[in-house]
Chain A
Amino acid sequence: MISVQQIHKKFGKLEVLKDFNLEFEAGNSYALMGPNGSGKTTLIKIILGMVIPNSGDVLVQGEAIKGNYAYRSKIGYMPQIGRYPENIKIGQLFSMMQDIRPEIKSYDMELVNDFGLNEMLDKPMHTLSGGTRQKVSAALAFMFQPDILILDEPTAGLDPIAVELLKTKIKKEREKGKLIIITSHILSELEELTNHAIYIFEGDVFFNDTVESLKEITGENRFSTAIARLMEWSLKKNTIKTELSHV
């Protein structure tokens, strides 16, 4: 459904992604992991067209995204930190997003109602707490029933009730056969929500398989220890690399 082909991205001299290839299939939910600065957010931003790669292609449902913008109506994106114009009201923000997509007529207001946002549509954005803004971002990501959901640290800053509501919603969408990509540092959450693990290390795919085979390969029963083992390996690989380069 999303095919990332030989993406190469440099920020100045820093190579963030090198010959990066990845396939995301519909019906799966992917846990996108990696240490800070490994290129997760850059990858997401490239898929969304916010960052333009130096070379390579991204296909979303078979269409190249280069110079294309309509494909984004199929993607629901929840950013890590949602910041909105200060003086706009929640209701106005919702109607703006709806105005942008005139072709979509039916809206999924489940999260809006669950989070109680429908009772504060008249509140300007600058009066909202960080958690409430995060709720607004989540509600917006799901509102247009997109085929693809990209959630960047979705539960950061949410209260426990909201976290549960959001998780239930994500699971519900997963059952519907949507493609879900989640980045998070909370492993228990990823284990609960995803069935496929992708571990990015220094701009390369270090691991890309189902959670079961991850456990099998690492010989660990628990997801978190399996990931910890993976991180160990990736660091070891790195030291080997530097040793070699010294030679």
Chain B
Amino acid sequence: MFKLLKYSLLDIVKSRFALLYTVFLILVAISIYQVSEDMSKVSLSLLNIMLMMVPLIAAIFATTHFFNNLEFTELMLAQPVKRRDVFLSQILAVIVVLSLAIIIGFGVPMILWGADVTVLTLLGIGIGLSIIFAGLAFMASVLTRDKAKAIGISLSFWIYFSLVYDGFVLYLIYSLSDYPLEKTTLGLVFFNPVDLGRIIMLMQLDISALMGYTGAFFQQFFGSAKGILLSSAMMLIWMLWPMGVAMRVFRKKDF
């Protein structure tokens, strides 16, 4: 599999997209570092941009990559290699490139202007979200035969988790405000990787007071070692299941 991965990476690293994405992230990071000196404010601004951009780029890039490489994938399936390896080399190449872009794009400005633990958490969340949305995008791609449809599904994952889901949770809290909802909202957060990332980060930044009573409750939960462990485990499940489903389908798919 590593042989295949090596050549997939060789191809993808040279594509203009990887370079553009990295440069874009560097520019974003530099401009935010220019605006503020306070490290936690920098982290917060970076977080907000990252939570919107990273899943979007990961979803679109993974889908287009899958379909652009479809004929090549077919050719690889005619070679003496396992289907599983063909699939893993494709998705891992995408994940490695997306992660490298985040590490370099956010990492270089950090080395220049300093960083703390919260920024490292930020990098981790960025990579986690890239893996999750690349997995979701591959799942959408193997389930459809049409590029436009797959991009549409990937985009709706992004819209759903970044925008719609929060609206839904807010509506729920608002309309059921007479009831104690802390545990319910806590549970709901687990079903959205973007929220999960945001909350892990916010807890580290120690600004949960801004989030009122629920925030305090989250702090109590997520701040404890058990909370961090559980939420990281949940992130891990989010990274694994879309990829797992995509691989299962891929292994039985007709090309």
Contact residues of A with B, CB < 8 Å?
11, 45, 48-52, 69-73, 75, 77, 79, 81-88, 92-93, 96-97, 99-101, 124
Contact = CB atoms under 8 A, between A and B. Distances in A.
Counting from the closest, the 8 A-B pairs by CB-CB distance are: A83-B71, A85-B11, A87-B14, A73-B80, A72-B80, A51-B254, A77-B78, A50-B255
A70 B15 contact: no
B130 to A, nearest CB: 21
20 contacts: A45-B254, A48-B77, A50-B255, A51-B255, A71-B80, A72-B78, A72-B81, A73-B80, A79-B78, A85-B7, A85-B69, A85-B72, A86-B11, A87-B10, A87-B14, A96-B7, A100-B3, A100-B79, A100-B81, A124-B14
B79 A97 contact: yes
A92 B10 contact: yes
B15 A87 contact: yes
A146 to B, nearest CB: 10
Contact of B72 (A72, A73, A77, A84): A84
A79 to B, nearest CB: 6
B208 interface: no
B74 interface: yes
A92 B7 contact: yes
A149 to B, nearest CB: 12
B254 A50 contact: yes
Contacts of A51: 254-255
Contacts of B71: 79, 81-84
A223 to B, nearest CB: 29
Given A84-B72, A84-B75, A101 B11 contact: no
Interface string B81-100: 11100000000000000000
Contacts of B252: 52
A67 to B, nearest CB: 10
Contacts of A77: 75, 78
A44 to B, nearest CB: 9
B10 A88 contact: yes
A31 to B, nearest CB: 21
B8 interface: yes
A101 B75 contact: no
Contacts of B8: 85
B74 A86 contact: no
A93 B82 CA distance: 18
Contacts of B12: 85, 87
Contacts of A79: 71, 74-75, 78
A88 B11 contact: yes
Contacts of A83: 71-72, 75
Contacts of B69: 85
Contacts of A97: 79
A203 to B, nearest CB: 15
B86 to A, nearest CB: 10
Contacts of A99: 3
Nearest to B75: A79
Given A48-B78, A73-B80, A100-B79, 5 more contacts: A49-B77, A52-B254, A72-B81, A87-B15, A92-B10
Contacts of A49: 77-78
Contacts of A73: 79-80
Contacts of B77: 48-50
A138 B234 CA distance: 49
A10 to B, nearest CB: 10
Nearest to A83: B71
Interface in B50-83: 68-69, 71-72, 74-75, 77-83
B80 A70 contact: yes
A101 B11 CA distance: 20
